[in-house]
């Protein structure tokens, strides 16, 4: 599994069965592969933390299978997901909560499933899900087009955003003193 937090991408690539982190994401039946649901208890806490997701909610994400020669991957765009928000979130609503209590007209009812409100990305409001052709030509999938080299078996690298370049307290103090000195000099010259 590979995660690209800057682009909200989650990619699953095949591995050998001797890999201690291997997850079976498809079953073979009559020489065809069929997807299977994957329990995410081993990696979901990390995803929730990495993307700032609410642990009270559930998230449903559809993926796109890409294949080139013998290489196969599943790509999940984490910006296009359904969020299942428990009804109790709104009933016991905290006024300081990030989740707003929904208000509906009398003749409109929210879409709900199993005591959850289902929230969709705003872009889906005028169509059914993501736009197929747009999804298959988006920049995040570009590295996995037919003409490029995929290298799906290359070793993964840990996500490490550029570290902040912080000034030391002594550098800050020196900078402040320099600014104060310049201001005093300007006042004296006027």
Instruction: For residue range 21-50, list pLDDT tens digits in order.
Output: 777 777 889 988 888 877 777 788 888 888
Cβ 50 vs Cβ 3: under 8 Å: yes
3 state DSSP class of 26? strand
On the question of pLDDT at 106 being above 70, the answer is no
Residue-level pLDDT at 178: 92
Over residues 44-93, the pLDDT tens digits come to: 888 888 888 888 888 888 888 888 888 888 888 888 888 888 877 766 55
pTM of the model as a whole: 0.57
Average pLDDT over residues 150-179: 76
DSSP letter string, 40-105:
-TTTHHHHHHHHT--TTSEEEEEEEEEEETTEEEEEEEEEEEEEEEEHHHHHT--TT-SSPPP---
Taking CA 83 as the corner, what is the angle to CA 105 and CA 5, rounded to the nearest 5 degrees? Answer: 140
pLDDT of residue 76: 85
21-25, 116-120, 162-166, range with the lowest pLDDT: 162-166
Contact call for residues 64 and 74 (beta carbons, < 8 A): yes
Cβ 27 vs Cβ 19: under 8 Å: no
| Integer angstrom CA distances of residue 136 from 62, 133, 147 | 13, 5, 15
pLDDT per residue over 141-161, tens digit each? 555 566 666 666 677 666 666
């Amino acid at each position: 599994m590979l995660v690209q937090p800057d682009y909200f991408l989650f990619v699953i690539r095949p591995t050998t069965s001797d890999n201690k982190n291997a997850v079976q994401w498809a079953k073979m039946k009559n020489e065809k592969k069929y997807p299977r649901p994957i329990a995410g208890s081993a990696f979901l806490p990390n995803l929730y933390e990495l993307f700032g997701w609410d642990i009270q909610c559930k998230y449903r994400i559809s993926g796109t299978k890409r294949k080139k020669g013998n290489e196969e991957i599943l790509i999940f765009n984490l910006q296009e997901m359904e969020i299942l928000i428990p009804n109790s979130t709104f009933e016991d609503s905290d006024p300081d909560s990030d989740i707003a209590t929904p208000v509906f007209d009398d003749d409109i009812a929210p879409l709900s499933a199993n005591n959850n409100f289902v929230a969709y990305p705003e872009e889906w409001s005028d169509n059914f899900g993501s736009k197929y052709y747009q999804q298959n030509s988006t920049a995040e999938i570009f590295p996995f087009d037919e003409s490029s080299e995929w290298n799906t078996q290359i070793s993964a690298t840990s996500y490490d955003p550029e570290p902040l370049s912080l000034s030391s307290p002594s550098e800050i103090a020196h900078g402040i003193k320099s600014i104060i000195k310049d201001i005093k000099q300007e006042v004296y010259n006027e």
